Amino acid sequence: MSRTIHTNVIHAEAVSAYSHCPRKAFLLHCTEDRGTPNDYAYIIGNRASANRASHLAHLYRTNTSICSYNDRAFSSGIAVLTEANLEAANVAAYCDNLRIIGQSGDHPVAYEPTIVVGTYRLEKEQILSLSVVGYVLEQLQGRPPATGCLITLDGECHRVNLQPMYKTVSSILECIGGWCGDPPMQPPPVVLNKHCPYCSFKNVCSQQAEEADDLSLLDRMTPKAIRRYHSKGIFTVKQLSFLFKPRWRRRRRAAQPPHFDLEIQALAIRTGKIYIQTVPEIQRSDVELFLDIEGVPDQQFSYLIGLLVRDCEAVTHCAFWADTMKEEESIWRMFIEKAEEYPDAPIYHYGSYEVRAIESLAKRFGTDVTCIRERLVNLNSQVYGAVYFPVRSDSLNVFGKFLGASWTAPDASGLQSLVWRYRWEMASEAEYKQKLISYNAEDCQALRLLTEKLATLRTDADAELNVDYVDQPKQNATSLGTELHVALDHVIRYASLNYPKSGIFFRPKTDAAKKKGPGALKGHQAYQRTVPVGRRTMIRVAPKRNCPKHKGQRLQAPGKDAEKVSPSTTAERNRPS
Ligand code: SF4
């Protein structure tokens, strides 16, 4: 399917790339660079080719009115047209066959498109490619086909409703069409995303993002968060790290889900420290099991169940391997048997894949897994939003490398394991099987290291210098500094205690208006009780002539009576004036 690149003609490949990343669509549409072929994409392409060959052979066997696509055959009403390279209105798309379904408006025939794919399950990208074919057919036959077909690897035909997709196709085409102007536009900026591991431009984009210390280097960064930080003038991970300010812990509601804070993650990377938001709850046992399952999600096939058993100091790795899907049940039963040898041991795993695989296998093979389910401990839930390691991703691979784990194959990853499995299936080379078993054992070892680290953080976080708390950072200071910190802590604590309301309050105006008479308001330090003014009485007391203590002794007369003004008594006040 080689093709010449016309910058004005938009290919379906660019449209489906746009759904993952506008930058990839730009590079495919506006440049001749095709990047470095990705192993996984190459394998899916190979599978699609093999599937296509057998599908076409079947079509030619079962149809009499069939030929390769060409303009004449298209308008003459041949029932099946194969390998159709369609082009109209500056859009080009390929489909494996067009099957006649009747008449379309003025056009004598209407066709429905079919694409053969290299997977067992349908993907959004494949539906989008089929919709682009439908869009081009609309230009050629006057009306878009309402449905299209995708043939998966198991030979099944999936009929898909294309009507809701045409709006998306039109808006993507409009956007890509806008790039063809003169002078040529700059490519959209690098925003690393979930599609990057599958993309042929991965190396170039990763390098650019590294050089720019781009925010998208953080795995959990979303395009929405990037836009929010850009609007605040934050463009790098280092800048982001300065946004975090430790705060006193607020009282949390009981069932609040854990929240991942990108600013703490950036801070952890800048300082090289581990930050604890919630102390992990890992309890060590004498016997522990570490579980890692390798599978092909596209086929829901678990082909390798790895179990690392730590019994006190002895560590052994058990690998239950299935050559084919028929052997899946036997490796499942072997795993159950092994796990039941240690009925009290917790089973550590990382992420939700193992839980889903266990539930699916138990359902398919009718196994009661209650005791296994109760012992599963997902380490991801102990780390997510609770412990921030100074790394950009929260994958087991990245944590493991940080904690000292190593992998024999430098490119080992979940995606690469699919490539190895495919190659083993193709050639049955022992090298790939060995790679997969080593990768699984090394993953289990990384799980063990992570468990040990989390258990250590639970008990020894205070003593470790490279560990800090998010809400109450450790105060590493001189003795004088420590004294000051303690004093200030007291001030803060008592200030909080004596200030039950969290705001500043003003006395309502009405209080001041109601106040009568002189003096400050009650409660103010200038307040003092004033004696009510009423009718006053002058009391005169004549001086004593004899001393009350010394009988018979005369006192010297002062010459005048003693006088005192007293407030009026109730009787006096009631007396008419
Ligand atoms: S590597 Fe990632 S950012 Fe770069 S073009 Fe591909 S998907 Fe887009």
For residue 42, report the distance from its CA to the centre of ligand 1, in Å. Answer: 17
| CA 34 to centroid of ligand 1, rounded, Å | 12
- pLDDT at site 6: 44
Is 24 contained in some domain?
yes
304 and 452 fall within a common domain: yes
The domain total for the chain is: 3
**Same domain (yes/no): 293, 272:** no
pLDDT computed for residue 485 by the predictor: 77
Query: pTM for the whole thing?
Result: 0.77
User: Do 209 and 128 fall into the same domain?
Assistant: no
Residue 463 lies in a domain: yes
257 vs 415, more confident: 415
Name the residue of 28, 34, 196 whose CB sits within 8 Å of the most ligand 1 atoms, as the mutation to test its pocket.
196
Asked if 360 and 222 sit in the same domain, the reply is no
Q: How confident is the model at residue 117 (pLDDT cuts 50, 70, 90)?
A: very high
Helices (H), ranges, 272-327: none
- For residue 504, what pLDDT is reported? 64
Q: Are residues 316 and 440 in the same domain?
A: yes
Looking at the predicted structure, is the pLDDT value of residue 23 above 80?
Answer: yes
Distance of CA 550 from the midpoint of ligand 1 (Å):
116
Domain membership of residue 5 (yes or no) is: no
pLDDT tens-digit readout, 426-476: 888 889 999 999 999 999 999 999 999 999 999 888 888 889 998 877 777
| pLDDT of the residue at 43 | 93
Q: At 573, which amino acid appears?
A: R
Q: What CATH number is given to the structural domain containing 72?
A: 3.90.320
**Which pLDDT score, from 0 to 100, does residue 362 have?**
95
Task: Please state, rounded to an integer, the average pLDDT across all residues of the chain.
Answer: 86
- Residues 318 and 272 placed together within one structural domain of the fold: no
230-239, 276-285, 412-421: segment of lowest average pLDDT: 276-285
323 lies in the same domain as 414: yes
| pLDDT 10s digits, 521-564 | 666 766 665 555 555 677 788 888 888 888 778 877 777 778 77
Q: Of the residues 13, 16, 27, 195, which should be mutated to test ligand 1's pocket, given the most ligand atoms within 8 Å of the CB?
A: 195
Residues in contact with ligand 1 (CB, 6 Å cut-off) = 20-21, 23-24, 190-193, 195-196, 199, 201-202, 205
Identify whether the C-beta of residue 80 lies closer than 8 Å to the C-beta of residue 97: yes
Q: What share of the chain in percent tops pLDDT 70? A: 85
Q: Is residue 26 part of a domain?
A: yes
Domain contains 480: no
Ligand 1 centroid distance, CA of 278 (Å): 35
Domain membership of residue 18 (yes or no) is: yes
Calculate what percentage of the chain has a pLDDT beyond 90: 63
Q: Which of 126, 146, 181 marks a domain boundary?
A: 181
Quick one: 291 and 269 in the same domain? no
293 and 272 in a common domain: no
Query: What does the pLDDT read at residue 151?
Result: 96
Rounded to an integer, what distance in angstroms lies between the CA atom of residue 181 and that of residue 409? 45
**Structure token digits, residue 22:** 């506008």
d(CA 444, CA 20): 32
Q: Is 318 helix (H, G, I), strand (E, B) or coil?
A: strand
Domain at 304, CATH number: 3.30.420
Helix (H, G, I), strand (E, B) or coil at 251: coil
- The alpha carbon of 202 and the centre of ligand 1 are apart by a number of angstroms equal to 6
Which residue do the tokens 């463009």 mark? Answer: 235
How close is the Cα of 479 to the center of ligand 1, in Å?
52
Contact 455, 282 (CB under 8 A): yes
Asked whether the predicted pLDDT for residue 124 surpasses 50, the reply is yes
Predicted pLDDT at 443: 96
Residues 6+ apart with CB under 8 A from 395: 219
Range of the structural domain that residue 232 is part of: 196-244+261-276
Q: Which of 21, 217, 219 should be mutated for ligand 1, with most atoms under 8 A from CB? A: 21
Residue 330, pLDDT > 90, answer yes
Query: Residue 333 — very low, low, confident or very high, per pLDDT cuts 50/70/90?
Result: very high
Q: Which domain-ending residue is among 451, 469, 487?
A: 469
Q: E strands along 312-390, which residues?
A: 314-321, 347-349, 376-378, 387-388
For residue 527, CA distances in Å to 517, 520, 522, 523, 524 come to 11, 5, 6, 7, 5
Lowest mean pLDDT among 38-52, 234-248, 253-267, 319-333: 253-267
Please give the structure tokens belonging to residue 41: 């994409």
Phi, psi of 114 (to 5 degrees): -135, 135
Considering the domain architecture, whether residues 173 and 207 belong to the same structural domain is answered as no
Residue nearest to atom 7 of ligand 1 (CA): 196
Q: Confidence band (pLDDT; 50, 70, 90) for 2?
A: very low
Q: Is residue 512 part of a domain?
A: no
pLDDT band at 102 (very low <50, low <70, confident <90, very high): confident
> In the predicted model, what is the mean pLDDT of residues 179-205?
87
Residue range 281-298, pLDDT digits in tens:
888 899 999 999 999 999
Atom 2, ligand 1: which residue's CA is nearest? 196
**More confident position, 63 or 558:** 63
Tokens linked to 227: 């836009």
Q: Give the model confidence (pLDDT) of 402-438 as tens digits.
A: 999 999 999 899 999 999 999 999 888 889 999 999 9
Q: Which residue has the higher pLDDT, 528 or 206?
A: 206
- pLDDT higher than 70, residue 275: yes
Of 276, 299, 316, the last residue of a domain is 276
Which helix (H) or strand (E) covers residue 158, if one does?
A: strand 157-161
- Give the pLDDT score at 412: 92
Do both 294 and 430 map to the same domain? yes
- Same domain for 59 and 164? yes
Task: Give pLDDT, residue 5.
Answer: 46
Q: Which atom of ligand 1 is nearest to the CA of 21?
A: 8
Q: Is residue 308 part of a domain?
A: yes
